[in-house]
Structure 1
Amino acid sequence: MRALTIRQPWAGAIAHQTKRVENRTWKLPAKHVGARVLIHAGAQPDKWAVVYGPNLDVFSALVATATFTGCHWSEDGKCCGPWGEERIYHWELADVVRLPKPVPATGALGFWTPTADVVIAVEQQLAEAVR
């Protein structure tokens, strides 16, 4: 399973089912459309963000899983509610599952592959949540 690092508070907003679009300057690669990915809260917060809520003080950890369902260019940003920015690609998210306990991990730019022990820790939490 691949992971994507997103700065806080945006990773927390995704994990808590409020943010359903990721704004990026680059188009989502077609191979990731429909793929389940891990959402990683980066080591540094977005210094321009002013958002408050739970789970936003978690850094350098996996906080959720999600599926990218599509990608589109937005000229005005209005298509994706309050989360969409203008003149940027919107990566659409669905099927978000917040991890009960964040899993510490070192992230990277772009899509990256977590270590086997990190993936096992995530899968154990997801299996327990289904029970």
Structure 2
Amino acid sequence: MADQLMLLPQAAIDRKRYKPKRGHAGYPGEGPKGEFCKTCIHIVNNGRYGGRSYFKCALTNWTNGKATDIKANDPACGKWEGLRALSIRQPWPWAILNLGKDIENRSQNFKRRGPILIHASLTIDEQAVIDLRAQGYELPTTFKTGGIVGKATITDCVSEHSSEWFTGPYGLVLTDAKTLPFRPCKGAQSFFVPKWEDA
């Protein structure tokens, strides 16, 4: 059997090594090397019972039964997706997701383009909260902090813009902002790959 495996391509070997269950969207081991289900944005924590957490893949038609459970440390499959996140102090993440804030102001130019996750840092910009309320915006009394709250797409980084949200000196132009279920994780400077605290 070992000799036969040596003649197979790596993907076929992984398919034999990691038997896929209904819970996986693809064959574990066919995704990026060094990545796991727990680093994929599609992993869902389905609750904690009897001292352990149960995880599902959002890309599958999973049930609450164990037949569709996946392990957080299973190797990534071919449908693995790990977006980088940008940490922003509230109330700005909330404004991006609820007020149409289409510019994220930054002190330096960035070349990154494409979809990102929006991370709400632990600290809140209290002065910004006061300023937005003074401008007539209705804000919530509390904000979610310390985790991923949404996603958006960066289409450009500009040094001037007609948007009312632009203050500069640079601004990331954002589109397709969407609220996501809150997932706790530690933030970091610049763009970072989230390390999920519930995985």
Give me the TM-score of the superposition, normalised by structure 2.
0.50
Correspondent of 1:105 among 174, 178, 185: 185
Deviating beyond 3 angstroms after TM superposition, the runs of 4 or more aligned structure 1 residues are none
Offset of 1:92 from its aligned partner?
0.2
Look up the SS of the partner of 2:159 in the other structure: strand
**Runs of at least 5 residues in structure 2 that lack an aligned partner in the other structure:** 1-82, 133-137
Counterparts of 1:44 and 1:53, CA distance in 2: 17
Larger radius of gyration: 2
Higher RCO (CA 8 Å, separation ≥ 6 residues): 1
Offset of 1:48 from its aligned partner?
2.2
**Runs of at least 5 residues in structure 1 that lack an aligned partner in the other structure:** 122-131
Once the two structures are superposed, residues 62-106 of structure 1 have per-residue CA deviations (whole angstroms, 9 ceiling, x without a partner) of 1111100001102xx6x111x111x5101100011111x311111
Compute the RMSD of aligned alpha carbons. 2.2
Does residue 80 in structure 1 map to residue 163 in structure 2?
yes
Match of 2:119 in 1: 40
Does residue 28 in structure 1 map to residue 110 in structure 2?
yes
Q: Contact 1:12 / 1:55 at 8 angstroms: preserved in 2?
A: no
User: Per residue, is there more strand in 1 or in 2?
Assistant: 1
Counterparts of 2:178 and 2:141, CA distance in 1: 14
> Are residues 5 and 27 of structure 1, via their aligned partners in 2, closer, same or farther at CA, if it must alter by over 3 Å?
same
> Are residues 47 and 17 of structure 1, via their aligned partners in 2, closer, same or farther at CA, if it must alter by over 3 Å?
closer
Q: Which amino acid letter does the alignment assign opposite residue 163 of structure 2?
A: C
* Structure-to-structure mapping, 1:1-131, within 5 angstroms: 1-29=83-111, 32-33=112-113, 35-49=114-128, 50=130, 51=132, 52-54=138-140, 57-74=143-160, 79-81=162-164, 83-85=165-167, 87-99=168-180, 101-115=181-195, 117=196
User: Per residue, is there more helix in 1 or in 2?
Assistant: 1
Offset of 1:16 from its aligned partner?
1.6
Q: Which amino acid letter does the alignment assign opposite residue 113 of structure 1?
A: V
Q: Percent identity?
A: 34
Count how many residue pairs are aligned between Structure 1 and Structure 2: 110
